[in-house]
A and B are shown apart, each in its own frame.
Chain A
């Protein structure tokens, strides 16, 4: 065949360019800060992580998982065999047939990619992504034809140099996209960065079914000196593997579809945010971004670079403050990108360096620092709610089976109803319980989500110091936010106060009591009931079952909302969002109440005082909102003595 050297030269040349691009891309990530990752172990574990952790997420969309398995699997197999058959020139009919099979697989997959792109949903990005199925088809079909002679189907030299030239042109298109584009910022970048992100992920604990949701603490000092920058001001202040994570984005927009702030018309779109981070790490503008914008903001005006302050022109601070830290985006992301980490990292800079927390933020933080509660109440009045509860104080009894962590709900009259209901249930079950009383401090949740990690760390350390003075086996709280801090975030401060202690949410604890027969309840006879999963109980701590089991034990068949369980929509109350209060077109709580209404429920069961407050804030008429403890206490069969 004339010019038969051409395809192999093309393969070698694009491969070489791809390697150059890879080195360049890696150097962009390495501009980030060091992070402790075991590189070898990560690379070894990567295929398993791809097949399990990543694929499990993709599998939620069966169409896409099959399409991706065919296209991606076919491509990986093809490229390995192409190197053997067309570059190394190994003359083997078996290899050639295997290659044909791999390419055919890829071709079929690409057809389905094309089909999905015919009428794409609004969440996926267009632009360069629209040409990807065509490139996939060009690549696979051209190589099929090129491989036919090697497989012995067509005689060598078929078509002469004209065909070779045409084929080479098509191959160049395909290779350009698949290899050159992979490391030079084309859509296929997701394969290269995504694979490495799986290997070097900042939260290695997430793989193998694990959960890792606690925010990482900020190093405030180094050798006794306050660090030059707290939080992330420029892209290079991120850890290098966070930058790598941003690059892994496939712009599928699953995050955008789930984001409550985006749906409410607040200026946040998690996908756009990650793409802006990519703009930041690589330098340039967002002019080529072809997905949905931040609601109310035009695309094309954002500029950034690794060394430029992000909030000066790349991302509006309002975007960062719109997030409720509900983790719906993280839960949904097939590439396991950590949006919430990045947002809080940037908030830390705004709060701890610029002193620019919007609206009530500054006031709330001042209160937390001066009074250990967000509303500035007297710390000596924390236990007032329990004046009539006859609850022993830890400072008196020193030990108890159960420590009830009351949380800042102690200061709020609505939340106090939940607290009282829970206490009544515990008393009915004869639980040996004590509270910290005025010694308890705010858990630090709000301070941390608002970016003031210094205030959070101070509260965490002082709380741990108090906890370490007493002995208890279980700590229970009705507040999922405090629960998350105690369970997942207090471990970073070198205290053994919570070692060997079960940290439980009250629904889990009550469920244990009910299942063990310690609580006698009569069946619930009200109308239809639905259950709203609090983000900090569900996605942050994986507790979806206990609240439902409790409701079942009352004979309630939960009328599930379409978005429930791990896909539950946030009430809008997390992450300090009600404090920073960024305007949108709708209120998140109203949208959640529409979800509730669509089930026809007359009562919505909740497991969080914040969710209760947000949902009760929706104007009537609307279903009643009750904490599970309140529902249970109404059905309690009290023994008369």
Chain B
């Protein structure tokens, strides 16, 4: 039921038996705080839908969560859910599933929009699976002979081409193609399949105390430009990083000391 030709995968010479698992989390709208399809996870699903015929969309959490329907509305016939309680850690359950199913590629967002939002899940998964992590992927161009050609998103629209052997975990950057529109009907009709999973309490999380974030004052960028051309240059030029320092050929302890001092100076830690 999805529009054809809306965003066609350019001749990607992809191996069609590719097996991809996209991990989805529950997003949170920045203005209203309401649950929604997470921006980056939506892009991961979009990429997965365009790449593979065998594409599993997997969530670890509550199978009754309505936000899952907005992923399903992209045209998924089913969403797999590892049924976990609110206090459970998603990582052990995901590791078990991935070890059983052994997909070629695992796609995730860079970080979740709700919960701890630590961005650690892909790294923890990769560590347990002993796979590489590729961070901030903008596109997967091709997969041939067990090697994927990727484009990484760098600042200011730059890209870095990369070849990565399968299997791997990839986090999807906001530069990846936008997720297609979610349609109400297919979203409601899709199957949400609840799977049993190992449930381990998230100990780290339960030790945390949560408080509302206070807006931090922003450092003003003073632009002394006099002409429009100068203002344009100031807005688009790479920051010069006058105060930056390259630490090379130093003992690791000294390098760490330098970083620690900088963090103190910038009042990141105290």
Interface size on A, residues (CB 8 A): 27
Choose from A361, A370, A452 the contact partner of B29 (Cβ within 8 Å): A370
Within 8 A of A (CB), among B177-234: 180-186, 188-189
Do B185 and A352 touch across chains, with their CB atoms under 8 A apart? yes
Closest to A453 in B: B184
B73 at the interface (CB under 8 A from A): yes
Do A452 and B184 touch across chains, with their CB atoms under 8 A apart? yes
Do B3 and A354 touch across chains, with their CB atoms under 8 A apart? yes
Q: How far is the CA of A365 from the CA of B181 in the complex (A)?
A: 9
A186 at the interface (CB under 8 A from B): no
Max chain B C-beta neighbours (<10 A), residue from A369, A370, A455: A370
Do B73 and A355 touch across chains, with their CB atoms under 8 A apart? yes
Residues of A near B122 (CB, < 8 A) are: none
A234-245 to B contact mask, C-beta < 8 Å, 1/0:
000000000000
Q: How far is the CA of A208 from the CA of B67 in the complex (A)?
A: 47
Choose from B3, B74, B184 the contact partner of A352 (Cβ within 8 Å): B184
Closest to A226 in B: B188
Residues of B near A378 (CB, < 8 A) are: 31-32
Within 8 A of A (CB), among B147-192: 180-186, 188-189
B257 at the interface (CB under 8 A from A): no
Residues of A near B181 (CB, < 8 A) are: 355-357, 361-362, 365
B130 at the interface (CB under 8 A from A): no
Do B31 and A371 touch across chains, with their CB atoms under 8 A apart? yes
Residues of B near A356 (CB, < 8 A) are: 3, 6, 181, 183
Residues of B near A455 (CB, < 8 A) are: 184
Nearest chain A CB to B75 CB, angstrom units: 7
Do B185 and A229 touch across chains, with their CB atoms under 8 A apart? yes
Do B184 and A454 touch across chains, with their CB atoms under 8 A apart? yes
Number of A-B contacts (CB under 8 A): 65
Closest to B28 in A: A370
Nearest chain A CB to B264 CB, angstrom units: 35
Do A370 and B73 touch across chains, with their CB atoms under 8 A apart? no
B36 at the interface (CB under 8 A from A): yes
Do A376 and B75 touch across chains, with their CB atoms under 8 A apart? no
Do B29 and A230 touch across chains, with their CB atoms under 8 A apart? no
B237 at the interface (CB under 8 A from A): no
A377 at the interface (CB under 8 A from B): yes
Q: How far is the CA of A352 from the CA of B189 in the complex (A)?
A: 12
Nearest chain A CB to B109 CB, angstrom units: 17
Choose from A227, A354, A370, A379 the contact partner of B183 (Cβ within 8 Å): A354
Q: A362-B181, A370-B36 are in contact. Are A353 and B31 (CB under 8 A)?
A: no
Residues of A near B1 (CB, < 8 A) are: 353-355
Nearest chain B CB to A229 CB, angstrom units: 7
Closest to B73 in A: A355
Do B189 and A226 touch across chains, with their CB atoms under 8 A apart? yes
A415 at the interface (CB under 8 A from B): no
Closest to A372 in B: B32
A475-507 to B contact mask, C-beta < 8 Å, 1/0:
000000000000000000000000000000000
Q: How far is the CA of A370 from the CA of B34 in the complex (A)?
A: 6
Do B183 and A371 touch across chains, with their CB atoms under 8 A apart? no
A71 at the interface (CB under 8 A from B): no
Do B31 and A377 touch across chains, with their CB atoms under 8 A apart? yes
Do A353 and B29 touch across chains, with their CB atoms under 8 A apart? no
B17 at the interface (CB under 8 A from A): no
A275 at the interface (CB under 8 A from B): no
A351 at the interface (CB under 8 A from B): yes
Do B74 and A355 touch across chains, with their CB atoms under 8 A apart? yes
Nearest chain B CB to A346 CB, angstrom units: 14
Do A376 and B31 touch across chains, with their CB atoms under 8 A apart? yes
Nearest chain B CB to A292 CB, angstrom units: 29
Do A355 and B31 touch across chains, with their CB atoms under 8 A apart? no
Within 8 A of B (CB), among A359-384: 361-362, 365-366, 369-372, 376-379
Nearest chain A CB to B255 CB, angstrom units: 43
Q: How far is the CA of A452 from the CA of B29 in the complex (A)?
A: 20
Residues of A near B3 (CB, < 8 A) are: 354-356
Max chain A C-beta neighbours (<10 A), residue from B73, B181, B185, B186: B185
A297-310 to B contact mask, C-beta < 8 Å, 1/0:
00000000000000
Max chain B C-beta neighbours (<10 A), residue from A352, A354, A376: A354
Residues of B near A379 (CB, < 8 A) are: 31-32
Residues of B near A376 (CB, < 8 A) are: 29, 31
Do A355 and B182 touch across chains, with their CB atoms under 8 A apart? yes
Nearest chain B CB to A450 CB, angstrom units: 11
Residues of A near B77 (CB, < 8 A) are: none
Do B183 and A351 touch across chains, with their CB atoms under 8 A apart? yes
Residues of B near A377 (CB, < 8 A) are: 31
Residues of A near B29 (CB, < 8 A) are: 370-371, 376
A280-299 to B contact mask, C-beta < 8 Å, 1/0:
00000000000000000000
B2 at the interface (CB under 8 A from A): yes
Q: How far is the CA of A101 from the CA of B158 in the complex (A)?
A: 86
Q: How far is the CA of A221 from the CA of B262 in the complex (A)?
A: 60
Residues of A near B182 (CB, < 8 A) are: 355, 366
Closest to A370 in B: B29
List 11 contacting pairs A-B, 8 Å CB cutoff, sorted by A.
A352-B183, A353-B1, A354-B3, A355-B73, A355-B74, A356-B3, A362-B180, A366-B36, A369-B36, A371-B29, A371-B31
The residues of B with any CB-CB pair to A shorter than 8 Å are 1-3, 6, 29, 31-32, 34, 36, 73-75, 180-186, 188-189
The 6 closest A-B pairs by CB, nearest first: A355-B183, A362-B181, A226-B188, A355-B181, A378-B31, A370-B29
The residues of A with any CB-CB pair to B shorter than 8 Å are 220, 226-227, 229-230, 351-357, 361-362, 365-366, 369-372, 376-379, 452, 454-455
Extra inter-chain contacts (11) besides given A355-B186, A379-B32, CB under 8 Å: A220-B188, A229-B185, A352-B183, A352-B185, A354-B2, A354-B3, A355-B75, A355-B180, A371-B32, A376-B29, A455-B184
